[in-house]
Amino acid sequence: MTTAAQAAEPTRYRRLGPVWRGVVLALTAASILVAINQLFNLGLTKPLIGKVLVYNRYLYLLAGLMIAMIFLVLPAWRRAPRDRVPLYDAALFAVTLLLTVYYVYFAEAILDEAWEYNAPDHGLYISVVMWALVLEAGRRAGGIAVFVVVAVISLYPTYADSMPEVISGVGQSFLETAGFHMFSEESLLGIPMRAFGLLVFGFLLFGVALIYTGAGRFFIDFAFALLGHVRGGPAKVAIFASGLFGSLSGGPVTNVLTTGSLTIPAMRRIGVRAETAGAIEACASTGGVMMPPIMGATAFVMADFLDIRYVDVALAAVIPSLLYYFGLFMQIDAYAAGRGLVGLPRAELRSAWSVLKGGWYYVAVFALLIWMLVVLKREAHAPFYATLLLLIINQFDPRHRMNWSGFKQFVLAAGGLMAELAGILAAVGLIVGALQATGMTGTLTNDLVYLAGGHPLVLLVMGALTSFILGIGMTVTAAYIFLAIILAPALIKLGLDPLSVHMFLLYWGMLSFITPPVALAAFAAASVAKCGPMRCGFEAMRIGAIIYFIPFFFVLNPALLGQAGAGEILIVLISALAGITLLAAALQGHLIALGTLGAGVPGLLARLLLAAAGLTLAAPGGAMIGLSHTELAFAAAAFAAPALVLARVARRGAVDPTRAA
């Protein structure tokens, strides 16, 4: 196994013995074959079982295999055995497989006879057991917060008719609710699991293959070759490497542990404080969730919600993700300039050409993936072809060649990651089902519009706070799905662009990765940087400050998502880049071509005015704000002019340590 793979391997997984490891390997291999058979329409199952995998049969089989694996790879609680599978987990595993056989066998009858409303008694009782298994799988994969939220809301149909009128809905009995959850296409087999089975599965496999074939090290080496020698080089390397690798892996914590193990020590070496080094890596890794071509799993679910192609979501995310990384880059450059931080000696760094020669096939695989996504529009097939090409070419690279042992580790890691995500999505699907069963979706939409007084900005602020709070206790995907059902229709009803609304909810849910009190990416980076987790989290908030504003920018003017003419897109992009430059200067106290903004009261006022100028300039003009681009530009100039004067006053008589830089 490669070093990157070791760094990325989740420590909360069980260390399985040979027998159970073989079981997980077999189930993962079976899941991959089932997905390939379904997505490529190979029809391999008909000779074996005399049946083709109709839509719900495929999802039942995939969900059942994934949930069963959760009971093997994830312990029930923190102090549960990690070196063996307890008897109760073996029993849960066996029961899940037996119930999966039941659902797969009756799949056609479930469709033809509408079992979600008219299931036989045995189906209802079996569904109660499966409901409990899905909840437990969601708890292990997503945490206690996911379990509590899903349990309470999935039971909602049983008490909906007893709630106050404003949140009351159509009531059902407990058994009827269990049947609806397990048999309908709106709950267990709803949008989350459908996105997993049709899109997410293949991209997860590709992301794990990249880690186990040495792609992480390639991106890091390439970033060091390009930027390691410049001012604040290792910090800029973190942005470049984590952005590239994160765009393919889609996992902030894994990204931190993979790239941060090299970039954080390098940043410390040139004089970056421990908490700042960790914060930079955390922010850079978190950005990978929204960086095309492979964003986090939430983007695939979003495409299903909006009924659009995934590539349309990825293209819409290009400008916001570039703005985010540009903001990080400008802040780090200002930070390095203000402290006189230099890069690494060129003699210690490989040339970019030598790095490319050693890892060219990663670029080739990347190009194949983009070509299939954008040109051929084969989103479901693209990651499988890319994974196959990657594994084949890998065998010709003696440095990273995967042997049989490494291949088994790759399959095990893929199985664990897929099972973990499937457990979360299956559980969260019950939320969708409960709201659909009670007819609450439309009611909540109208209530939220009423509470906001019909003002989109008020509802946006409510949505941002709710997304952030849910993101603290739940996964980004779970928080997004919940709000996509409840809040997104209300925002769209007020006239906002649907894609902008859903992207807004994704961004704000993602902020929990770098914002205390949870800040998982920042805490992971703190463990590498050997600093206080909370200090690293608050520093990450400051370093990644621009991400708190970008969602408001593109929801107010969808041109920042590419939803406008070329001229409008160019105008808002240029003004956003200029505004972010000023905002970064205000946050770090250093402006390009001017130097430090000075200290004392004049320096503080200069930074505040410059921040106001940056935000005003970056904000897109339009009907939502009530000001045109030109008016916002004049307002920004009105803030910036006195800021520059105050900066000169603050610097007068003081020595500028960066004048020579």
pLDDT of residue 410: 93
Contacts of 439 (CB under 8 A, 6+ apart): 169, 170
pLDDT value, residue 442: 64
| CA–CA gap between residue 167 and residue 531 (Å, rounded) | 46
Mean local confidence (pLDDT), 352-378: 87
What is the DSSP-derived secondary structure letter of residue 591?
E
Of 53-67, 153-167, 475-489, which has the strongest mean pLDDT?
A: 53-67
pLDDT recorded at residue 10: 45
508 or 500, greater pLDDT = 500
User: Does residue 439 surpass a pLDDT of 80?
Assistant: no
Residue, of 298 and 417, whose pLDDT is higher: 417
What integer pLDDT is reported at residue 575 of this predicted model? 92
Please say if the pLDDT value at position 475 is more than 90: no
Give me the sign of the Cα torsion angle 432, 438, 440, 442.
positive
How far apart, in Å, are the Cα atoms of 541 and each of 229, 286, 555? 27, 12, 21
With a pLDDT cut of 90, the percent of the chain lying above it is 32
pLDDT of residue 473: 60
Average pLDDT, the chain: 85
Q: What is the pLDDT of residue 376?
A: 87
- Given a cut of 60, is residue 615 above it in pLDDT? yes
Residue 255 is predicted with a pLDDT of 78
Stretch 451-471: mean pLDDT, rounded?
75
What is the reported pLDDT for 661? 40
φ, ψ of residue 605 in degrees (nearest 5) = -65, -40
Peptide bond into 293 cis (omega under 30): yes
Q: Does 481 have pLDDT greater than 90?
A: no
Question: What is the 3 state secondary structure string of 333-387?
Answer: HHHHHHHCCCCCCHHHCCCHHHHHHHHHHHHHHHHHHHHHHHHCCCCCCHHHHHH
Q: Each residue of 157-208: pLDDT tens digit? A: 999 888 887 677 788 899 999 999 999 998 999 988 998 998 888 888 988 8
**pLDDT score, position 101:** 95
Q: How confident is the model at residue 274 (pLDDT cuts 50, 70, 90)?
A: very high
C-alpha to C-alpha distances, 129 to 172, 337, 526, nearest whole angstrom: 18, 61, 41
What is the per-residue pLDDT for 75?
A: 93
Q: How confident is the model at residue 46 (pLDDT cuts 50, 70, 90)?
A: low
- Whether residue 447 is predicted with pLDDT greater than 80 in this model: the reply is no
pLDDT band at 386 (very low <50, low <70, confident <90, very high): very high
Is 508 buried (19+), middle (13-18) or exposed (0-12) by CB count in 10 A? buried
Q: Which tens digit of pLDDT belongs to each residue from 98-128?
A: 999 999 999 999 999 999 988 999 999 999 9
Of the candidate ranges 174-183, 430-439, 550-559, 652-661, the one whose mean pLDDT is the lowest: 652-661
Q: How confident is the model at residue 247 (pLDDT cuts 50, 70, 90)?
A: low
d(CA 582, CA 327): 10
For position 658, what pLDDT does the model report?
Answer: 46
Q: Supply the pLDDT for residue 7.
A: 36
Residue 412: what pLDDT? 93
- pLDDT recorded at residue 659: 44
- pLDDT-derived band at 250, boundaries 50, 70, 90: low
Q: Report which of residues 655 and 556 the model is more confident about.
A: 556
Q: How confident is the model at residue 52 (pLDDT cuts 50, 70, 90)?
A: low
pLDDT greater than 90 at residue 489: no
Cβ-contact 137, 124 below 8 angstroms: no
Q: What is the mean pLDDT of residues 629-655?
A: 84
C-alpha 406: how far from chain center: 27
pLDDT of residue 9: 41
Alpha-carbon separation of residue 12 from 80, 417, 425, 520, 609 (angstroms): 11, 11, 19, 14, 47
